[in-house]
Amino acid sequence: MRSRPTILHLDMDAFYASVEQASKPSLRGKPVVVGGLGPRGVVATASYEARRSGVHSAMPMAQARRLCPHAAFLVPRFGVYRAISETVMALLGELSPLVEPLSLDEAFVDLAAGPDGGPVSAEEARDTGGRLRARIRAATGLTGSVGLAGSKMLAKIASERAKPDGLVLVPPGTERELLAPLPVRTLPGVGPATAEALRRAGIATVGDVVRAGEAELLRLLGKAHGAGVHTMALGVDTRPVVADRDTKSISVEDTFDVDVTDRARIRFEVDRLAVRCVERLRAAGRSGRTVVLKVRRYDFSTLTRSETLRGPTDDPAVVRESAARLLEGVDTTAGVRLLGVGVSSLAAFTQEDLFAQAGGTPGPGAPEPGEPPAGEAGPRGPDAPGPWLPGVDVTHATLGPGWVQGSGLGRVTVRFERPDSQRPGRVRTFRADDPELARGDPLPLVPASGSPPAAAPGPGPRPPPGSGELACPRGDLRPPGRGQRPRPGTVNGRGRPRPAASAPASAPAQDSSSARPARCPKSRSGSGGPGGTSRP
């Protein structure tokens, strides 16, 4: 236990959701939920506005929609999050070479290992934390909460108490006073099972743990675990900040919207996951010796199978064939809801198999690598050519950069705005196959110094007939309310565009390119279509 508060813990505030709000001016101050949008999707992050409605991380997305139906539901953009995380971690690295990242938005820093030996007083530590928060905001436009203490456990507790956008310092000597009223789950190593065992013994808070004594903890939890929990309850945490934590495994997994029973489809998905896993493995500069297959069946029972190879590899063919062999021993006839492929026993080198470890050939009728089986659609995701998922970046040949607000029934609604826009941008609806609309690159959250802020584009002229853009100046794709009839031109999965009236027999045939486009109803704000409704 240190006598100075030289352990700093940084936790970015609602990181994914905050990035989306910073990049989309129309969502600022409004509820935003980021995660999987399918029927079995899970919330990754919710903005503080959405949390007031009870939405939180790891909640099923269907439940989040019921709790906060007016929120913007967006797919995650991990490439953007990683780039911003690298900027934040670089700022932490300027404080000390000992930075221990826990995730993209969270890290410990040992200030005592810094160039000046770290702060010598609580006020110096507070000034260091304040300067860090200001620099992060200037570099990324985002906020983070900082905790300072003499140990990792207390620094993390302090940052949680500082949220959002705050700083809390735990003065040395006040650790017991801070910990006493907190629930036992606050202590590292106390999970649901341990907490339940302590609750049955009448121990609910950290103060109760201290009063129970070490002997009682040893009786309830065993020698090793009981001693560790008692030591933590006393505020003693000697764990060091470790800059390079070894990655034990690398894996990828997918949850399906509907249970998959077709064996050919399951083989294809395992093959695709193996290739994605190797891509992550190579990006990390690692190789692995053990291939792991994870199968979660329709009844939530999870099976894990593994195979150890002769040596470390990063060959996609080797990993694919190993995963395929593991799959042969798993019964999937009742249905599969999740598949995963991972590689463990990592190394920093590869050992090519001289005995054709991956020398097998696909069986007759098996699809080629990356080719879906007959009758199956290929993988879909934020980086796939379609569909237009809510939140992804797009660009229009005439209107410039924007983001998908919703889509459905062959239409896609886009809001055109930039992170530095002074007001929400305009909304336009296009045909999904509009050749002028394409995926775009994310824009920086903070403009380059000296660049004037961008003004949001005005409403602009009405598009001419025959253009790819639909005549929906206000971009309303909102489903009709209860007791309200679907209006013509509504694209919401229930209403259908009004069919064009048949022309009199004497009237000349009208070319489809010059036909009057569908009109969308007026509304104060835009919203997305089925599966991607997002109303700022």
Res 301 pLDDT > 60: yes
Write the pLDDT tens digit of every residue in 229-250: 999 999 999 999 998 777 788 9
Res 329 pLDDT > 60: yes
Q: Provide the pLDDT confidence category of residue 328 given band limits of 50, 70 and 90.
A: very high
Helix axes 223-233, 214-221, angle to 10 degrees: 140
Res 475 pLDDT > 60: no
Write the pLDDT tens digit of every residue in 35-72: 998 888 899 999 999 999 999 999 999 999 999 999 99
Is-catalytic flag, 368? no
Higher pLDDT, 508 or 219: 219
Helices (H), 167-222: 175-179, 192-200, 206-212, 214-221
Task: Look at the block and give the residue holding tokens 């792991």.
Answer: 292
Element of type H or E holding 336: strand 336-347
Q: 3: closest CA among 100, 88, 122, 146? A: 122
Kindly report the CA angle at 116 between 114 and 121, in degrees rounded to 5?
95
How many CB atoms within 10 Å of residue 441? Answer: 9
Global pTM value: 0.72
433 marked among binding-site residues: no
Question: What separation in angstroms does the CA of 194 have from each of 157, 179, 217?
Answer: 19, 18, 11
Residues whose CB falls within 8 Å of the CB of residue 245, separated by 6 or more in sequence, listed in order: 100, 101
**pLDDT at residue 189, as a whole number:** 86
What's the mean pLDDT when you consider all of the chain?
A: 81
Res 343 pLDDT > 70: yes
Residue 442 token pair = 């994310």
Max Cα-Cα span within the chain: 99
Residues 533/408, Cβ–Cβ less than 8 Å: no
Q: 392: closest CA among 105, 10, 39, 24? A: 24
**pLDDT at residue 172, as a whole number:** 87
Burial 347-384 (b: 16+ CB within 10 A, else e): eeebeeeeeebbeeeeeeeebeeeebbeeeeeeeeeee
Q: 473: closest CA among 434, 415, 514, 515? A: 415
Helices (H), 263-382: 263-283, 316-328
Q: Distance between CA 140 and CA 442 in Å, rounded?
A: 14
Residue 490 token pair = 């509504």
**pLDDT at residue 3, as a whole number:** 82
- Residue 213 CA to its chain's centroid (Å): 42
Q: 72: closest CA among 106, 43, 92, 104? A: 43
Residue 141 token pair = 């436009």
Residue 359 token pair = 């020398």
How many CB atoms within 10 Å of residue 10? Answer: 27
Assign 305 to helix, strand or coil.
strand
Write the pLDDT tens digit of every residue in 115-138: 888 888 889 999 999 999 999 999
Of 20, 49, 100, 106, catalytic: 106
**pLDDT at residue 517, as a whole number:** 41
Sheet holding 72-74, edge to edge: 43-46, 32-35, 72-74
Write the burial class of residue 46 (CB in 10 Å: 0-12 exposed, 13-18 middle, 19+ buried): buried
**pLDDT at residue 138, as a whole number:** 95
Residues 139/147, Cβ–Cβ less than 8 Å: no
- Residue 284 CA to its chain's centroid (Å): 19
Higher pLDDT, 19 or 479: 19
Q: Distance between CA 421 and CA 457 in Å, rounded?
A: 9
244 marked among binding-site residues: no
**pLDDT at residue 114, as a whole number:** 87
**pLDDT at residue 386, as a whole number:** 52
Mean pLDDT within 27-40: 92
Residues 85/104, Cβ–Cβ less than 8 Å: yes
Mean pLDDT within 298-306: 91
The two beta strands, 336-347 and 426-431, are unpaired
Question: What separation in angstroms does the CA of 465 have from each of 310, 388, 470, 473, 500?
Answer: 65, 24, 9, 14, 14
